[in-house]
Structure 1
């Protein structure tokens, strides 16, 4: 086994003692491993295997995710620079507001805002995050704006949201106490610098964990396609919701992976006339939005016996096939 990277870490305990650790990346016959060896509070050394496998990309994200976790816990490396950039106590204005919002939101007001968002999303027939993200609601619940101008100072609350939702949100915030006045130039001084740095590391932890999860899911999908698995089997293997699985398949198709064997298997029992109608609708309406295609092919409501989720699966699969055929035609031309 060849060690290709080695770094040491220390974490002061406040009583003169140190927690120490070593982080290594090793390679043996094409298999990568990331290993953390450390002792805590003077206890015997423990070993954590962060990654073992053949993917360089997965290995690097597992490495960076683990480093972000450990540095968020207070470990400092002997040699720095393992993350994209090391968080600083002097951050950007937006991240300072986001951190303060997550740490100091009024819990009762936040729950009221979430309930409002759920009802509004249902009424507007859109995803809740398109009305407002959790992070935006946390900042509103922390700073408690009283006017449309103050609400507009919350990152993520632009003119569109202001025109559609400000009156409803302000009706909720006016009932809560505003802890400190606007403008929000007091936040950097009020925010504990250590808590802010830990929050920044937590953001990096989530970032690399999401990347790693995405890469691992993509690998499982491609392995499943090669093994002739069905959509149901791919969903079970990855644990992804059906829509997210289909979106991931479309992304892999755009990246050039050959998914035609899966597409052919899933569309094998679909009547030729139905496939033709889908192709015609895609040609006439464009392939950006599927809802108009759904209505054109199946009517306002799919016929009994065809679940709407299955109808959307078929539309996505035919869209992938058509896009690839069109791209091949352009290349040939």
Structure 2
């Protein structure tokens, strides 16, 4: 069984007692399964199968309905995902969640749009994913609290010294002169938050995480099917609404699981002009493959393409990098085998 999500929940009972339950979702040979396990008042284990079948959409519907019912009964998640420590949220983690919740509700839309425009431009300059630069939630918090100094900016979760030294000036140029109704430090947020609404928001985050993981597993299967039938990786990426980074991450995961993925990558790279491919391979060998922006600059010189064209180039560069890394690994293994045999 391929476990896609496993989390423990608990419910406060009478006389200070706690009842624990476990929610599980998984897949085996194309069959999706979601179930709820708990121990009843008599101490006997009870298993409730919410869904078992081949439809991913029906699985997601069953998970959403089942979790909503259990959360309404008073169950609260302990585990945030597979392999995470079985504890409730620490005070720091809960404060982070509170600030994210407040940011989602109260972000100044005009400031948020300015921040996203800055992120888009900066990520293009660096050749990095916008969401590595700063997540939407981080930008929402900044747009909600409008820090006016570097010290205040450091109160935003995730915006540490390193990010502040690189981007603090740019961000503050957007937020420094904006009017705001709140102040720093942000410890007032907890008291200003509607607790039941916050708990409901937390529960929705749990549902989204489960659904996202289920979508990823479904995407892996559809990706395999597309490659087996000679389908386009670009087409399947569009259908699944994956970024090129997410697509390559899935390919790497499938490769680790023993699937042959290079043929599908070769088919996709065959659409790129051979001269560009050869030049990119030369640049990878000369400059390394950690960063893609230097490769893009090497291909186009000072006349860099527009953002849409660059996105397409980055997409096939990621596939080419995946291929070249696999070829290097295979060559290294062959050398090691030859040395051992000798």
Instruction: Provide the TM-score with structure 2 as the length reference.
Output: 0.65
1:96 aligns with 2:95: yes
Tell me: CA distance 1:224–1:158, structure 2 relative to 1, closer, same or farther (3 Å): same
Tell me: CA distance 1:29–1:293, structure 2 relative to 1, closer, same or farther (3 Å): closer
1:281-300 pair list within 5 angstroms: 281-300=283-302
Contact persistence 2:226–2:233 (CA under 8 A):
no
| Match in the other structure for 2:43 | none
**RMSD of aligned C-alpha atoms?**
4.6
Aligned partner of 2:228 among 226, 229, 237: 226
1:61-80 pair list within 5 angstroms: 67-72=66-71, 74-76=72-74
Contact persistence 1:64–1:83 (CA under 8 A):
no
Partner secondary structure for residue 53 of structure 2: strand
| Match in the other structure for 1:161 | 164
Distance (Å, rounded) in 1 between the aligned partners of 2:192 and 2:219: 41
Tell me: CA distance 1:323–1:192, structure 2 relative to 1, closer, same or farther (3 Å): same
**Superimposed CA distance per residue, residues 106-159 of structure 1 (whole angstroms, 9 cap, x where no aligned partner):** 74x621321221332354354554554332344345545454423322212223
| Match in the other structure for 1:113 | 111
1:276 aligns with 2:274: no
Tell me: CA distance 1:300–1:243, structure 2 relative to 1, closer, same or farther (3 Å): farther
For structure 1, the residue ranges without an aligned partner over 5 or more in a row are 1-8, 11-22, 37-47
Q: CA deviation at 1:80?
A: 8.8
Q: Which moved more, 1:208-217 or 1:133-142?
A: 133-142
Q: CA deviation at 1:191?
A: 3.3
**Superimposed CA distance per residue, residues 273-320 of structure 1 (whole angstroms, 9 cap, x where no aligned partner):** 5543332221111111222223334545589xxx55554444333322
**Superimposed CA distance per residue, residues 66-98 of structure 1 (whole angstroms, 9 cap, x where no aligned partner):** 6544444x1346x9978758895x753343343
Aligned length: 291
For structure 2, the residue ranges without an aligned partner over 5 or more in a row are 1-9, 12-22, 37-48, 337-342
Tell me: CA distance 1:209–1:223, structure 2 relative to 1, closer, same or farther (3 Å): same
1:160-179 pair list within 5 angstroms: 160-161=163-164, 163-165=168-170, 167-173=172-178, 175-178=179-182
Q: CA deviation at 1:168?
A: 1.9
